[in-house]
Structure 1
């Protein structure tokens, strides 16, 4: 999530300037949402496309290039995902300057399908979900970046440590980071259990096509090198919202689908709760960074509603850091 002080900015002028680099229908650009990036949608000959851009201080050009390289590899191997659209300048990434700020922009095609609600999913849909993630991991095993490399969990923890250094009262989070890092360093690393993962394969970021029975993935901008089971932990985080029998059944059928495509050791599945602690720590640090320096003389109503929810989530993470390993 980007800093709230960046999220409150009106970016319509920037978005229109960026969109000039791609063909589009006139007056079709509309704001969709802001989170880790600014996201707009537009049309070309009636077909919808997505414009995603971020400020230089919120993202790295090197990391976006690595993301695009992975997506193009997935496209070559027929994985079901959205793909970048080349600009009129024959570039996948446009770097745009506006009022002294630098922005990195990419356009993607629309993901056909629907977002499923986890409480309404059938056993067969859980299996399809597992198959989709397993197919991604199987392709990741043979992916060798030619030019740009996504960060690993090590670099992500370094960034997290830098964020926490600005918050002297968050000692439990700093202790949690040390425990997480020590534990991860103790795990075996092989081509079968470790590689480039999506890291955000939850239902908001996959669209289910009921005819093809395939999920189409979006939002690869959090991808990192990690153990594949980390992706499973992130993907199934919403299972915690279900009652125990439904959650257990969902996990069972997700893993059934996953294992029909890609093997995974049971010992790693047993470690899912510990991998969740990595994700909770990273998410906590991102929220702290987002909330930092975010007091404004006049706040929009949506921010007045959002801020208490973010603060409540931070407190939930803090309680989690107190739990024994």
Structure 2
């Protein structure tokens, strides 16, 4: 989630998107706002094919981390893993940069994913395919070596959480949760089998299913970082799991069954799940705190207040869990 003040600036009149899209071939008047979260996303067309323009400010993402993300996706594509492909600009670059109104923005374009979006009514067979897709991703991650820049790690995220909490000294429960989790995560074993580059947002809204092939195409690798592979299970299954990490849900069982068809899950892996669930919640809490900083924007658009209310409620729900 980006800072709301940056969101207002980035969406103002679609001016930034209109400048950035000039770096890629596109059909005139086809640019359409899609969503804004940790990035701005616009859909557009070129020769009746749909693409997505994604951009963010240098306050949210560094060009090094974006480059590392795209390198990983190229590696996956070279090994026939079904993820969306980045598209080079007319200048032959994957990343284009724009200086606008005192800010710097980095943009990339991806071709639209093949397949259909699924929701929580996903069948058990589809859940098995979902788990198998994630395990295949982890299997490939085991052999991946970055070329230029590595994605950040769980230690970097803990440091980032600490920095955010230092700006919010009243969040004493969150500070204590950070202390407990830092000690607990440092005690977890790390090996080439259980640790590597994870997607971190392998939820259904980032997957598109081709039923005739029983195949998921994956998007949005911009949250990827180095952690335990089972962290991906926690975030993927978030909508199906309660705070007690009850794994008896039928969809959860089918997902785990599909995952185990490709990769084993040890008892040690499963014991780590509750701590990684707590890490996920603390990380999300810190992102919400950061997003809401400076959100009292002069002449703000009408949608901003509704979004602020939604984020404040989410922040407060997470706070109650510490």
With normalisation by structure 2, the TM-score equals: 0.95
Alignment of 1:81-96 (within 5 A): 81-96=83-98
Question: In the aligned structure 2, how far is the partner of 1:96 from the partner of 1:181?
Answer: 37
Runs (4+) off by over 4 Å: 244-247
The alpha-carbon distance between structure 1 residues 70 and 158, as it changes in their structure 2 partners (threshold 3 A), is same
1:205 aligned partner: 206
1:97 Cα deviation from its structure 2 partner: 1.6
Whether 1:114 aligns to 2:93 is no
2:105 aligned partner: 103
Q: Is the 8 A contact 1:69 1:148 kept in 2?
A: no
2:274 aligned partner: 273
The alpha-carbon distance between structure 1 residues 289 and 198, as it changes in their structure 2 partners (threshold 3 A), is same
SS of the residue 2:249 aligns to:
helix
1:225 aligned partner: 226
1:199 Cα deviation from its structure 2 partner: 0.3
2:193 aligned partner: 192
Question: In the aligned structure 1, how far is the partner of 2:154 from the partner of 2:314?
Answer: 22
1:76 aligned partner: 78
2:21 aligned partner: 19
Q: Is the 8 A contact 1:195 1:227 kept in 2?
A: yes
Q: Is the 8 A contact 1:240 1:247 kept in 2?
A: no
SS of the residue 2:23 aligns to:
coil
Structure 2: stretches of 5+ with no match in the other structure: none
1:113 Cα deviation from its structure 2 partner: 1.5
Whether 1:136 aligns to 2:175 is no
Question: In the aligned structure 1, how far is the partner of 2:246 from the partner of 2:93?
Answer: 49
Question: In the aligned structure 2, how far is the partner of 1:149 from the partner of 1:283?
Answer: 22
Aligned residue pairs: how many?
319
Q: Deviations over 1:246-298 (max 9, x none)?
A: 96211211111001011221331233222110010010000000011111344
Q: Is the 8 A contact 1:114 1:209 kept in 2?
A: yes
Question: In the aligned structure 1, how far is the partner of 2:268 from the partner of 2:172?
Answer: 31
SS of the residue 1:320 aligns to:
coil
SS of the residue 2:164 aligns to:
helix
203-212 or 37-46, which moves further after superposition? 203-212
Aligned Cα root-mean-square deviation (Å): 1.7
Q: Is the 8 A contact 2:188 2:272 kept in 1?
A: no
Q: Deviations over 1:79-119 (max 9, x none)?
A: 1111110111111111112233211010001012222111x
1:162 Cα deviation from its structure 2 partner: 0.5
294-303 or 282-291, which moves further after superposition? 294-303
Q: Is the 8 A contact 2:247 2:253 kept in 1?
A: no
Alignment of 1:157-172 (within 5 A): 157-172=158-173
1:177 aligned partner: 178
SS of the residue 2:209 aligns to:
strand
With normalisation by structure 1, the TM-score equals: 0.94
Q: Is the 8 A contact 1:239 1:247 kept in 2?
A: no
Q: Deviations over 1:143-170 (max 9, x none)?
A: 0112110000000111111111100100
1:11 Cα deviation from its structure 2 partner: 5.6
Alignment of 1:272-311 (within 5 A): 272-311=273-312
Question: In the aligned structure 1, how far is the partner of 2:242 from the partner of 2:180?
Answer: 26
Question: In the aligned structure 2, how far is the partner of 1:240 from the partner of 1:71?
Answer: 29
Structure 1: stretches of 5+ with no match in the other structure: none
The alpha-carbon distance between structure 1 residues 247 and 95, as it changes in their structure 2 partners (threshold 3 A), is farther
Question: In the aligned structure 2, how far is the partner of 1:225 from the partner of 1:265?
Answer: 19
Question: In the aligned structure 1, how far is the partner of 2:146 from the partner of 2:242?
Answer: 37
1:6 aligned partner: 6
Question: In the aligned structure 1, how far is the partner of 2:310 from the partner of 2:275?
Answer: 25
Question: In the aligned structure 1, how far is the partner of 2:146 from the partner of 2:264?
Answer: 23
